[in-house]
Amino acid sequence: MMNADGQTAKNGKITALYERLSRDDEMQGESNSIVNQKHLLEEYSNRNGFTNLVHFTDDGVSGTRFDRPGFMNMIAEVENGNVSAVIVKDMSRFGRDYLRVGLYMETLREYGVRLIAVNENVDTAKGDDDFVPFRNIIAEWYARDTSKKIKSVLHAKGRSGKHMTNAAVYGYKKDDGDKNKWVIDPEAAEVVRRIYRLTIDGKGAFQIARMLTDEKVTRPSVYIALRDGGNYTPKSADEPYTWGGASVKNILDRPEYMGHTVNFRTYKDSYKDKKEKWRPKEDWVVFENTQEAIIDKETWETAQKCRRVKRRDSAGEPNPLTGLMYCGDCGHRMYNHRGTLAHKYDSQDSYACNQSSKYPRKCTMHYIKTSTANDLVLTVIKTVSEFVRNDKEEFIRIIREENEARHEENIKTRSKQLAKDKKRHDELDAIIKRLFEEKVSGSITAKRFEVLSNGYENEQTELETRIAELQSGLEQYEADGEKANRFIAIVEKYTDFSELTPKMLNEYIDRIVVFEAERINGKRRQRVDIYLNFIGMFPLLGQSEEEEPPFDPVERQREIWRGYYYKRHDRILAQSAERRKRAKAEKLKSEPQKTPEEIAAEKQARLEKDRAYHREYARKWREQNPEKNREIIERHNEKKRKQKERTLPA
């Protein structure tokens, strides 16, 4: 491959010139630029008689990664036997992970490829350089140190409240005068607002994605690329408009649309990791009101509430009440039934406790028609809204009085404990001060002072924590006035109550609690508690009731027979289960007991039979599908090859 003087033999093989530049290297000046590296390598090759020069380049890629396109293309040529020598500026251009660099150097040796690092006087044709491993380790240390510095800079930037993302999220764009400031992009922001409106109206993420795709709305990644002047070549005519459910969910997940900055969503365990991991939401760092909001807080929270509910739409549009209906006895959510029920003879939309259909039944049905629930909810909304419009001050006063009556005893206890803790806190201040004076005067030893002062300071810390909690609880009373104002803001948004829309329902209603119906004086009575957002059950409304036509003896008889049927059905199932259990026990007693060796032999025989069956099935499938079988083998071999590349030497 190489003749004695180091020249490339005329065997048709190429000399690979490899150049790499990362973003960190750009800070070091022009000496590391791709143009400079190419000039240096070409000059060295021409001076030393190397021919068939081919450049392999990776621009803007870290040396800690080994899935670089140019590098992988070069290694592929090496494995195909088309390369006689690889020339780099220095070993850090080859890579900054000394273990992986050593692995690839071994690969070059196996294929008889010469490796030259020009600036470090490394040439494997002249014998192994004993300092190469140390140079590789130093290169990795440099990458690790650079990563720490960058991480420190980004951490300081994130803690200061500045955006850490390279590009503004869809709906915003960077201000021309200040790159750290986001301003609203009107066209994209309108799409974001529409997505939130559709979510509140009961649409799912994939439904919204289909609507945007059908209307040919440009999807976020393509829109941002075209807006910022990037190059984008679609693979098909419809590709720029193909929205996915994940894109819609990503937009709905972002608090940034409320005008906030959210940093430290993800992290890496090591600078070598390719994929980032998600932090729990409670560990995110949020800076509020850093830019103009696209979505107000109430709309964002309502959309999140709608998303938490799984609604089935196999029978048309999902029922807006789903997720709001709860059983008054067991507390579980109620299930929406559509079509003809077994115990009714007309087609209707209704709700029942989902625990009533399980075996054994854990609750009763708590049956209620959807139309009845809709009417009750609409009546409550109308009544409260009319009351608020007529007298806002009285509404706030009632909410506060109701809260005070509900928590009066708790407030008294908290106030008493708060006064007691504050008094003890002041006493401890005086004790610690006196203790310090005694130490200075020599009345107590330093060791005794340390023990006593630590005990008093720990007690004082506990008191400060408890005082803060008690004050927070007492301040909740004042917060109720703010909750009432937030509910008033919802009331002022609506003037038409002729129809209960999904948006109105989710903004007004927190939950609907349904109790089991009772027969009172020949009438069906059912308690339904409706809890409103921010204020709970409004005291003047009390509980709602459903009333049906007078007593129907035929329907009553059906109810009796239904109860009898369900009890008999449960009893029959229990008896059958008991019979099967006894029969199994008797069979085990009557059969001769097998030794462990016999049991193991039977198990092994079954395994051999199964294996023989699967081998025969696989053989027939391969004969019938030779092309697919060949594709599977090729994919398997490719996977093994990639795994081998990723495997580090022991």
Domain positions in the chain: 14-155, 172-307, 390-505, 593-628
The reported pLDDT for the residue numbered 233 is 61
Residue identified by tokens 């090859």 is: 641
Tell me the pTM: 0.49
Lowest-pLDDT choice from 13-22, 165-174, 204-213: 165-174
Helix-helix angle 446-493:297-307, to 10 degrees: 90
First-last CA distance in the chain: 31
More confidently predicted of 543 and 66: 66
Lowest-pLDDT choice from 196-210, 310-324, 519-533, 615-629: 310-324
**Residue 149 confidence class, pLDDT cut points 50, 70, 90:** low
The Cα angle at residue 326 between residues 321 and 329, in degrees rounded to 5: 155
Question: 38: how many CB neighbours lie within 10 A of its CB?
Answer: 16
Give yes or no for a contact between 85 and 113, defined as CB atoms under 8 angstroms apart.
yes
Domain formed by 172-307, architecture: Alpha-Beta Complex (3.90)
The Cα angle at residue 161 between residues 160 and 167, in degrees rounded to 5: 120
- Taking CA atoms, 301 is separated from 183, 249, 395, in Å, by 22, 14, 24
Residues 650, 648: Cα–Cα separation, whole Å: 6
Helix-helix angle 446-493:392-441, to 10 degrees: 170
Lowest-pLDDT choice from 44-48, 75-79, 338-342, 366-370: 338-342
Strand ranges across the sheet with 83-88: 53-59, 14-21, 83-88, 114-117, 122-123
Q: Is the pLDDT of residue 337 over 70?
A: yes
Q: Are strands 114-117 and 122-123 parallel, antiparallel or unpaired?
A: antiparallel
Lowest-pLDDT choice from 308-322, 345-359, 595-609: 308-322
More confidently predicted of 476 and 469: 469
**Residue 546 confidence class, pLDDT cut points 50, 70, 90:** very low
Residues 372, 350: Cα–Cα separation, whole Å: 9
| Alpha carbon 492 to its chain's center | 35
Percent of the residues in the chain that have a pLDDT greater than 90, as a whole number: 10
The reported pLDDT for the residue numbered 28 is 46
Tell me which range, 3-7, 163-167, 419-423, is most confidently predicted by mean pLDDT.
419-423
The reported pLDDT for the residue numbered 402 is 67
**Residue 29 confidence class, pLDDT cut points 50, 70, 90:** very low
More confidently predicted of 305 and 57: 57
What average pLDDT is seen over the chain?
77
Residues 76, 94: Cα–Cα separation, whole Å: 15
The reported pLDDT for the residue numbered 156 is 61
Give yes or no for a contact between 333 and 357, defined as CB atoms under 8 angstroms apart.
no
Percent of the residues in the chain that have a pLDDT greater than 70, as a whole number: 75
609-644 burial string, b = 16+ CB within 10 Å, else e?
Answer: eeeeeeeeeeeeeeeeeeeeeeeeeeeeeeeeeeee
Q: Tell me the pLDDT tens digit for each residue of 436-466.
A: 777 777 777 877 777 777 887 888 888 887 7
The reported pLDDT for the residue numbered 313 is 46
Q: Is the pLDDT of residue 545 over 60?
A: no
What does the block give as tokens for 477? 């009373």
More confidently predicted of 412 and 580: 580
**What sign does the dihedral 133-134-137-143 (CA atoms) show?**
negative
Q: Is the pLDDT of residue 56 over 90?
A: yes
What does the block give as tokens for 480? 């109720």
Residues 498, 385: Cα–Cα separation, whole Å: 13
441-447 CB contacts, 8 Å cutoff, 24+ apart: none
The reported pLDDT for the residue numbered 31 is 44
Q: What share of the chain is helix, strand, coil (3-state, %, to 5)?
A: 55, 15, 30
Secondary structure element (H or E) that encloses residue 382, with its range: helix 370-390
pLDDT, mean of residues 161-166: 72
pLDDT, mean of residues 212-221: 90
What does the block give as tokens for 546? 């459903």
Q: What is the dihedral of CA 11, 13, 17, 22, to 10 degrees?
A: -160
Q: Is the pLDDT of residue 192 over 80?
A: yes
Q: Is the pLDDT of residue 224 over 90?
A: no
Residues 50, 423: Cα–Cα separation, whole Å: 89
**Residue 160 confidence class, pLDDT cut points 50, 70, 90:** low
142-178 burial string, b = 16+ CB within 10 Å, else e?
Answer: ebbebbeeeeeeeeeebeeebbeeeebbbbbbbeeee
What does the block give as tokens for 48? 């030393």
pLDDT, mean of residues 396-421: 69
Q: Is the pLDDT of residue 110 over 80?
A: yes
Q: Tell me the pLDDT tens digit for each residue of 228-277.
A: 776 666 665 567 888 988 889 889 988 889 888 887 777 665 555 556 76
- φ/ψ of 321, rounded to 5, equals -75, -15
Q: Tell me the pLDDT tens digit for each residue of 616-647.
A: 998 999 999 888 888 888 988 888 888 887 76
Q: Where are the beta strands (DSSP E) in 49-90?
A: 53-59, 83-88
Residue identified by tokens 């289909």 is: 210
- The matching CATH number, chosen from 3.40.50.20, 3.30.360.10, 3.40.50.970, 3.40.50.1390, for 14-155 is 3.40.50.1390
What does the block give as tokens for 89? 């500026």
